[in-house]
Amino acid sequence: MCENTTFFVRHDNYPSAPGHVELVPKRHIESFFDLTDQELTDFYALLLQARKILVEEYDPPHGYTIGVNEGRAAGRSIDHLHVHLIPRYFGDVDDPRGGIRQATPNWDPDSWR
């Protein structure tokens, strides 16, 4: 899809929405927290580039979910860093409040008051 010196963007193998992509570092790394300053700069630049492509190709999305499963306890299933960029649309889920629905036991947005 697109790339720069340290990252590339690919379509997710199991997309949760049309246009769901992943930003993947070219260097083998497991943790977002181990990225170098240059990798972080390149990541952000490529995130913006990928978003621009998604706007052009997917009838611009109403929002985005940007996510990293940092560690196995957080749901990471592949031990190589990848950051999800998921286009979101009003109505794509019944209740989008909370963003990462059901990630914690106390996920009911009505109980967050």
From 20, 28, 80, 82, active-site residue? 82
Catalytic-residue membership of 80: no
Task: Please provide the distance, in angstroms rounded to a whole number, between the alpha carbons at the two ends of the chain.
Answer: 41
- Positions annotated as catalytic residues are 82
